[in-house]
Homo-oligomer: A and B are copies of this chain.
């Protein structure tokens, strides 16, 4: 049997669908068409149907998608129906902001431990978590079954932190430091970079709808 790997682009769109579906549910919308989703999210409806069809047959012709059912299915595909513990290294402003931010999540993904190398930060409180020294990181990651690591340290320290996370056994890393991390291929890394968002916005400032000749 031939098989097909699902691209990262598809996987990255699922949380976007999920976020919008949750908003629809809060407004007590029961069903939604791929046309409506597409219009709202600035995506081609055919693309949305294709993305979702990788995972199952969720929509009904002429009716669309049942909002609650699709939320439940996407949460399952993304494994948000499991408890996923997250650890964060770097108790600076961004680390604080991320801890605050994820408190709002109703999901089972939670930052359960925060680490920092700086003496002055160790023992301080972030959302009821005591900042731990780096020397405790590997033990804590293993004891608390932390599966995702978040890196919010300066660029120069990020590679070292990533290596510690890998040694501790995390399966995935979300990296906010502006460097490309070198990790073994079994560890998944996503880079979160504000400059990517800002810089791509700049493109639209004076050339929105810029057109080039078809070759």
Inter-subunit contact A6/B210 (CB<8 Å) = yes
**How far, in Å, is A111 (CB) from chain B's closest CB?**
10
Q: Is A157 an interface residue (CB 8 A)?
A: no
Q: Is A143 an interface residue (CB 8 A)?
A: no
Q: Is A105 an interface residue (CB 8 A)?
A: yes
Inter-subunit contact B148/A79 (CB<8 Å) = no
This chain: copies in complex:
2
Inter-subunit contact A104/B178 (CB<8 Å) = yes
**How far, in Å, is A10 (CB) from chain B's closest CB?**
10
Given the interface contacts A94-B94, A109-B198, does A147 sit within 8 Å of B205 by beta carbon? yes
Contact check: which of B4, B86, B97, B192 meets A212 at CB < 8 Å? B4
Q: Is A174 an interface residue (CB 8 A)?
A: yes
Contact check: which of B55, B190, B198 meets A197 at CB < 8 Å? B190
Contact check: which of B14, B104, B201 meets A174 at CB < 8 Å? B201
Instruction: Convert A75-86 into 0s and 1s, putting 1 for each residue whose CB lies closer than 8 angstroms to a CB of B.
Output: 001111000101
Inter-subunit contact A172/B1 (CB<8 Å) = no
Q: Give the one of A1, A18, A101 with max B CB within 10 A.
A: A101
Q: Is A160 an interface residue (CB 8 A)?
A: no
**How far, in Å, is A21 (CB) from chain B's closest CB?**
12
Contact check: which of B42, B101, B148, B201 meets A172 at CB < 8 Å? B201
> In A169-215, which residues have CB < 8 Å from any B CB?
171-174, 178-180, 186, 188, 190, 192-214
Q: Can you list 12 A-B pairs, Cβ within 8 angstroms, ordered by A?
A: A11-B200, A12-B200, A80-B202, A86-B198, A93-B94, A94-B97, A101-B194, A109-B198, A109-B202, A172-B202, A174-B198, A186-B208
